[in-house]
Chains A and B, each alone.
Chain A
Amino acid sequence: MKLSLRFLVPAILFAALAAVLAIGLRHDPNRLPSALIGKPAPSFSLESLGDPAWKVGSSDLAGQTWVLNVWGTWCPPCREEHPTLVAIASENRVPMMGLNWRDDRTLAMRWLAQLGNPYVSVAYDPEGRTAIDWGVTGAPETFLIDANGIVVRKYVGPMTMDIWQKEFVPLLPAGGAGR
């Protein structure tokens, strides 16, 4: 009895520690829960990337489901995901707005001219104030906002067709009544 307990207790402790560490290994520490999910989309009104006289804002697409994609020309993963965004936009299911973050207007315009423009409009945020309101920690980030103006999904990192199909498409209104 005494002997078995002496071996049993460390064995149980070891198993418990192994279980905790195994759970920890499965967690991706780079994935943070967004504080914004289920909350109203932060409002903004910024200069349009293409035309400083034109305002682009969160109310432009109110009343319908829409996507906000945060990007910058300084961000290599943004270049990686760009063809996917262009492909998603060509499906015409949901309007996508761009938030050009901490970037240069000329470079960003050249980027869209060269790689294609998946956005219905692009808001220009060189100081990153709107990005802070949206809790952006690193580009690219993609948000889905429903017709009630609630943020229902956020994805950090380069968008892929797989993630789009699995995590975003099921939340789109049926029939693709995007625009």
Chain B
Amino acid sequence: MRKLALAALLLLAITAGAVDTGQRFDDPAEQARYERLIRDLRCLVCRSESIADSNAPLAADLRREVESLMRDGKTDAEIHAFMTERYGDFVLLRPPVAPRTWLLWAAPALFLAGGLIVVIVVVRRRALAARSDPASLDDGPDVP
């Protein structure tokens, strides 16, 4: 129980890390949208942080820019386009799914498939070897 409480506290600490906690919009839905947008944009000074988490001056400028674009009635896609036109795809913490990023997005599945193939081949080979001649298993711990 105590461990669970500690874990919950630690999780809280992670969410409390954001630098920009200011209320920018009266409408809770708009405020949530603002917070989601700045969480998806990379701070180009600190690289691994979003502009929500960074207190670099450029991140502050970009947060102000997101706010003013939202007040101008721009959609999420238009705001993302505004940023990528200026800073490239790198500014998006979630890379877009496009032909040039297919390999990137498919990589986890490809690695998993590759691992599965290796496992299947090894298991099959061992099963075959065990059936024909148990003595040929030179690396298994199973032969007494």
CB pair B61–A133 under 8 Å, yes or no, is no
State which size class the interface on A falls in: 10 to 19
By a CB distance below 8 angstroms, the chain A residues around B18 are none
- Asked if A102 CB lies within 8 Å of chain B CBs, one says yes
- Which residue from chain B places its CB closest to the CB of A74 in the assembled complex? B57
CB pair B84–A35 under 8 Å, yes or no, is yes
CB pair A127–B61 under 8 Å, yes or no, is yes
CB pair B85–A35 under 8 Å, yes or no, is yes
Which one of B29-37, B72-80, B86-94, B96-104 is at the interface? Answer: B86-94
CB pair B87–A135 under 8 Å, yes or no, is yes
Min C-beta distance of A168 to chain B, whole Å: 22
Bound: A134/B61 CA distance, A: 13
Min C-beta distance of B137 to chain A, whole Å: 12
- Asked if A137 CB lies within 8 Å of chain B CBs, one says yes
**Interface residues of B, dominant DSSP:** helix
By a CB distance below 8 angstroms, the chain B residues around A132 are 61-62, 65, 86
**Interface residues of A, dominant DSSP:** loop
Min C-beta distance of A15 to chain B, whole Å: 17
By a CB distance below 8 angstroms, the chain B residues around A128 are 57-58, 61
- Asked if B45 CB lies within 8 Å of chain A CBs, one says yes
Min C-beta distance of A124 to chain B, whole Å: 15
- Which residue from chain B places its CB closest to the CB of A137 in the assembled complex? B44
- Which residue from chain B places its CB closest to the CB of A128 in the assembled complex? B61
**Chain A proximity mask over B33-60: 1 for CB below 8 Å, otherwise 0:** 0000000000011010000000001100
7 further interface pairs, Cβ-Cβ under 8 Å (given A36-B86, A137-B45) = A35-B85, A102-B57, A127-B61, A131-B61, A132-B62, A134-B86, A135-B88
Residues of A within 8 A of B (CB): 29, 32-36, 102, 127-129, 131-135, 137-138
